[in-house]
Structure formats: structure tokens, C-alpha cells
Copies of this chain bind each other. A is one copy, B any other.
Amino acid sequence: MRTNKAFEILLVLFIILLIIPSAALSGNESYKTLFQPLPDRVDNPENPLNRDKILLGKMLFIDARLSKSGFFSCNSCHNLTTGGVDNLPTSIGHAWHSGPRNAPTVYNAAIHTTQFWDGRAKDVEEQAQGPVLNPGEMASSKELVLERINTIPEYVSLFKKAFPESKDPITYENVAKAIAAFERTLMTPSRFDRYLKGDKKALTSDEMKGLNIVVKKGCVACHRGPALGGNSFQKFDYGDDMGRYEVTKNEADRKVFKVASWRNVALTYPYFHDGKVWNLDEAVRIMGEKQLNTKLTDEEVHYIVIFLNSLTGEMKRIDLPVLPPSTQNTPHPDRN
């Protein structure tokens, strides 16, 4: 384990050394090696997007009948009106259960290279299958979800449209695929994207100062790529949660988590996997100490937070779907 740790530190230092010469002197050309603008949507060859599938996915994302109680939808915890999160330390689930980790945002999630804090799902298609079945979240079963959908004629016809190539389109995997298709469109470009695309005035001088600091300090060793995070795992020695170790049982994965994305970070409080830190300044300070072994100055924190605020993106205009009513055969909600 010690070797691993040493290797990790070396790797981070190596990445930082690689980055500094190419980026620290600023100019958005060099930043393009670190960051990339958000795409309009994220494609997945195994789940080709089409309009009907995206629309169906939006309906299912908001439909509480996916939960046993008929009360929780995906949107309950990944709330589209509040940065794609519930702004709770950990989510409230079936029978008032408390989730073990802070709910990550659904906005731009599709661009992450894995899903969940511990990366246990490879993409949003796989992720969407989890919370529906979790007894402390939506507490449903595959059978219940499919029976509810099969007894609602409008859903039956929407599934046929959304999966035209499929003989038997109503499957649990397709429920998740439709939801994931919707999620793949939930990109929130910000002024930072305009900057990356060449508009040098898109960021204020204070935001540029913050950007230069996160590059120089090495934050961008991990917070990089189009989501400024979400594409690597790192050890984060904070709290008792064993993180990715619970998935891999690999000693090197103790307290290893997926790096959080900086996109919309000003909206996705409270912070970290336990959701115990409410203040973005404090989160930045903790990160400096724990991950870079640096005590950031008040000034540095100030400008970093100003930069992070520039990553609050434009939320797509989403009109509320009108969900089709249940029928006589639809299993009733069950709050027990």
C-alpha cells in the first residue's frame, strides 16, 4: 500500500509538472489541452439517441411510479430546478431512509467516465438502474416497474416509438436507457465554454485570476477535461467512507473516490461524498490541504471560488411533461 501511495503522489506531481509549462502562462489555446467545451449532448453507440427516446426519458425521470411508494422520482434527488441535486447532505428515500452518500448532479453526468462516487456503474445507462431498486431509495423492483409501465397504454406506445428496432421494447434495461438518453442531453454550457471556444472576454479578470491559480496550484491535475473532473479516481483521506474499496476490495482503493466535477459546483452544495461541507470556500481549503498538501491563502481561495462560480451553466429550458394516467390494472403505490 505504501508503494501505491508513493506512486500516486509521484503521478500527481508528474501530471502537474507536465501541465504547468503548457498552461500556466495562460492563453486559452494552452488551456484547451486541459479543458474542453461541453458537447451539446453525449452519444453512446449502445443507446442511440432519438427524439422520442429523449422525451420518454424525461417523462420517466419525473414519474414517481418508478418508486414503490409512488412518491419518489429520479428528479426527487437529482432535481432539475436546483442544479440537478437535492441540496441535502444525503438524500431522503423510501420510509424516510437516509442515503449513505451525497447525491451527485444529473447535469453533465453523462460526460463522466464512470458513475456514482465509487465509479461502480460504467455509464448513465447502468447508473439509472440502481436507485430505482435500492430499498433505501425508490425501493422498487424490476417487476413492479415493468408492470406499472405495461398497464399504461400511453407508455406502451411511447416505448415502441422510442425503441423502434425492438420487438419487446418494455424492458428494465430500456427504462434505464430512455432515462439515460434524456440525461445525455442535460449539458449546461457556461461562459467558460465560450472562453474555451475563443471568446477571450467571456471570463472577467477576477475569474481569469482564479483560473490561473487552479492551474498553477495543480488542482487541474484532477479537475480537468470537459467536466473539470469526473474522469479519474483519487484518494481522498476524509471521513470513514471506504469509497471505491467497497466495490473492488482492492487495498489501493481505500478512500478512493471519483473526482467531483466543477461544473455548476456553486449550485451543488453541500460538498464531498458525505455532504457535510456547506461552504465552497471551506471545500476549496480542504481540497488544498488534503489533495495538494497546500494551505491556500484567503486570496487564492477567493479567486478560485470566483472562477468556480463562472462554471455555473445555462440550464436547458425543460417543460414539464404531462404524465399518462394509470389504469385499473396498474399496481397501486405502496408506502410500506
Q: Interface of A with B (CB < 8 Å)?
A: 62-64, 69-71, 76, 79-83, 86-88, 92, 95-96, 98, 266-267, 269, 278-279, 315, 317-323, 325-326, 328, 332-333, 335
| Interface pair B71/A92, CB less than 8 Å apart | yes
Q: Which residue on B lies nearest to A330, using beta carbons?
A: B278
Cβ contacts under 8 Å, A92 to chain B: 69, 71, 335
Question: Which of B76, B96, B267, B332 lies in contact with A335, CB distance below 8 A?
Answer: B96
- Rounded to whole angstroms, the CA-CA distance of A119 and B237 in the bound complex is 57
- Going nearest first, the 5 A-B pairs with the smallest beta carbon separation are A96-B96, A319-B319, A318-B320, A81-B323, A315-B322
Q: Are B81 and A278 in contact (CB under 8 A)?
A: no
Contact A87 B326 (CB under 8 A): yes
Please give, as numbers and ranges, the residues of chain B lying within 8 Å of A95 by CB-CB distance.
96
Roughly how many angstroms separate A62 CA and B80 CA in the complex, as a whole number? Answer: 11
| CB-defined contacts of A70 to chain B, threshold 8 Å | 86-88
The distance in angstroms between the C-alpha atoms of A69 and B98, with both chains bound, is 12
CB pair B71 A86 closer than 8 Å: yes
* B-side contacts of A80, CB under 8 Å: 320
* Interchain CB contact under 8 A, B320 and A81: yes
Quick one: given A71-B88, A96-B95, are A325 and B278 in contact (CB under 8 Å)?
Answer: no
* Residue from the list B86, B266, B278 in contact with A332, Cβ < 8 A: B278
Cα A321 to Cα B279 in complex, Å, equals 24
Number of copies: 2
Which residue in chain B gives the minimum CB-CB distance to A335? B92
> Is the Cβ of A269 less than 8 Å from the Cβ of B325?
yes
* Contact residues in B for A69 (Cβ distance below 8 Å): 88, 92
Known pairs A64-B79, A279-B328, A318-B320 / 14 extra A-B pairs, C-beta < 8 Å = A63-B81, A69-B92, A71-B88, A71-B92, A81-B321, A81-B323, A92-B335, A95-B96, A96-B96, A266-B325, A267-B325, A315-B322, A319-B320, A320-B320
Which residues of chain B have C-beta atoms less than 8 A from A328's C-beta? 278-279
CB of A25 to closest CB in B, whole Å: 34
Tell me if B323 and A98 are in contact (CB < 8 A): no
Complex-state Cα separation, A64 to B87, whole angstroms: 10
For the complex, give the distance between the alpha carbons of A16 and B194 in Å: 68
Chain B, residue nearest A314 (CB): B322
Q: Which of B62, B83, B279 contacts A325 (CB 8 A)?
A: B83
The answer to whether A335 touches B98 (Cβ under 8 A) is yes
Quick one: which of A69, A96, A267, A322 has the most chain B CB within 10 A? A322
Establish whether residues B87 and A333, one from each chain, have CB atoms under 8 Å apart when the complex forms.
yes
Smallest CB separation, A283 vs chain B (Å): 12
Q: Are A323 and B82 closer than 8 Å at their CB atoms?
A: yes
Nearest chain B residue, comparing its CB with the CB of A317: B319
* 21 interchain pairs, CB-CB under 8 A: A62-B81, A63-B81, A69-B92, A70-B86, A70-B88, A71-B86, A71-B88, A81-B320, A83-B325, A88-B333, A88-B335, A95-B96, A96-B96, A266-B325, A269-B325, A269-B326, A278-B332, A315-B320, A318-B320, A319-B320, A320-B320
